[in-house]
Chain A
């Protein structure tokens, strides 16, 4: 069954059809929420809320990119989670070690395909990128996550964030500029290919 048929069935109240769409897009929505919120539990809550909200309002979908439409629901859910988090601060995502410090690369996030050294490097780089993302204003973070992490084109990002196309271009440029400045502080973590690329520019 193609996506259009599934959407139409879901619009007639077919929960099975909607759940097929959930399975197709849950990775995208969860990873978007995770990068925006930087908290797995909150991201899972936001993703679930987003799908629930999407099912309830699926009749308002009038065509276009369904992924972009879903991204809008998850963005709204992330804003709600952040507002809730501000009202009720919770414990951080990173578990604490025996010395009470936060563990940067918890074991349960590790990729088993990598060697321990490479895993450590990858985790550190990921942590550095996430750190830089966290320091972006929310509207910049949302745009850069959708465009660069989820690969949405500008028009879909504009739909997903309810923002004019010109603003998207501007926000994306600013976000990348800030990330560039932030990542310069983690130069030693960058993969060799990126370091080599950057050498002549300095």
Chain B
């Protein structure tokens, strides 16, 4: 008897032999006592194993959502609010960037306007409050700085040579009223008005809060559902 015979016996016990192999083995078993003895021993071993009691499980092995790594399902509107928050926040930052660089251009304009208004004969009717911005803003731009100092004397000289009647007419003709009455250039000429910025900021905050609230609520409902089970 060799190991091949043991394999055949083992498979025969489990009913894994083909009918022809089974018949052949059965005829050998009838004539070979040694083979029969091994067969009985294998059957005993197999029978003992099958009789081993099944132990009860110490606890249930069911998985919790935490163990399984499951997350609360998102509500359908959640991605909309999340996207709106991101877009509004980006727009909000964009308006700041735009407004940060825009005042430089407005100063350029105001500096360029300063000689134009000065060449027109100055602004005698302008009060100190109106003249002051040009004088204070001028040093910001290096090329614009001399403008008031150069222009103002000439306008003063011109005004001295003019008759009182012309003194009264010239400023009106040179400096049109809209320019004189123009408000302070920086806030009014900002590309994105402050009200828009505030609105975009509010939209970003509201959408963010709504997205956070929806997420929180779905997570709480998800947990509540699982805690009930």
Answer whether residue A194 sits at the interface, using C-beta atoms and an 8 A cutoff: yes
What 1/0 flags go to A166-202 for Cβ under 8 Å of B?
A: 0001101110110110010000001100100110011
Interface core residue of B11, B51, B70 (most chain A CB under 10 Å) = B51
Answer whether residue B67 sits at the interface, using C-beta atoms and an 8 A cutoff: yes
Answer whether residue A13 sits at the interface, using C-beta atoms and an 8 A cutoff: yes
Would you call B58 and A19 a contact (CB within 8 A)?
Answer: no
Task: State the majority secondary structure of interface residues on A.
Answer: helix
**Cβ of B52: which chain A residues have Cβ within 8 Å of it?**
35, 126, 129, 149
In the docked arrangement, what's the CA distance between A183 and B10, Å? 17
Would you call A154 and B57 a contact (CB within 8 A)?
Answer: no
Which of B42-50, B99-107, B168-176 forms contacts with chain A? Answer: B42-50
Would you call A44 and B58 a contact (CB within 8 A)?
Answer: yes
CB proximity to A under 8 Å, residues B18-59: 36-38, 40-59
Answer whether residue A103 sits at the interface, using C-beta atoms and an 8 A cutoff: no
Given contacts A13-B70, A51-B61, A169-B7, contact A30 B40 (CB under 8 A): no
Task: State the majority secondary structure of interface residues on B.
Answer: helix
The residue in chain B whose Cβ has the minimal distance to the Cβ of A126 is B52
CB proximity to B under 8 Å, residues A76-99: none
CB proximity to B under 8 Å, residues A1-58: 13, 15-16, 18-19, 22-23, 26-27, 29-31, 34-35, 40, 44, 47-48, 51-52, 55-56
CB A68 to nearest CB in B, in angstroms, measures 16
CB A4 to nearest CB in B, in angstroms, measures 20
Query: Which residue of the partner chain, among B48, B65, B229, contacts A194 with CB atoms under 8 Å?
Result: B48
In the docked arrangement, what's the CA distance between A29 and B67, Å? 19
Query: Which residue of the partner chain, among B6, B43, B44, B62, contacts A183 with CB atoms under 8 Å?
Result: B44
Answer whether residue B114 sits at the interface, using C-beta atoms and an 8 A cutoff: no
In the docked arrangement, what's the CA distance between A197 and B11, Å? 20
Would you call A149 and B50 a contact (CB within 8 A)?
Answer: yes
**Cβ of B50: which chain A residues have Cβ within 8 Å of it?**
148-149, 151
CB A175 to nearest CB in B, in angstroms, measures 9
**Cβ of A34: which chain B residues have Cβ within 8 Å of it?**
55
Answer whether residue A120 sits at the interface, using C-beta atoms and an 8 A cutoff: no
Given contacts A176-B45, A180-B41, A201-B40, contact A22 B53 (CB under 8 A): no
Would you call A52 and B14 a contact (CB within 8 A)?
Answer: no
* 19 A–B contacts from the bound complex (CB under 8 Å): A19-B62, A23-B62, A27-B56, A27-B57, A30-B61, A47-B61, A56-B68, A109-B55, A126-B52, A129-B49, A148-B50, A149-B49, A173-B7, A173-B10, A176-B42, A177-B42, A180-B42, A191-B51, A197-B44
| New contact pairs (12) apart from A22-B63, A40-B55, A180-B38, CB-CB < 8 Å | A18-B68, A27-B56, A52-B68, A55-B63, A126-B52, A148-B49, A148-B50, A169-B10, A176-B42, A198-B41, A201-B36, A201-B41
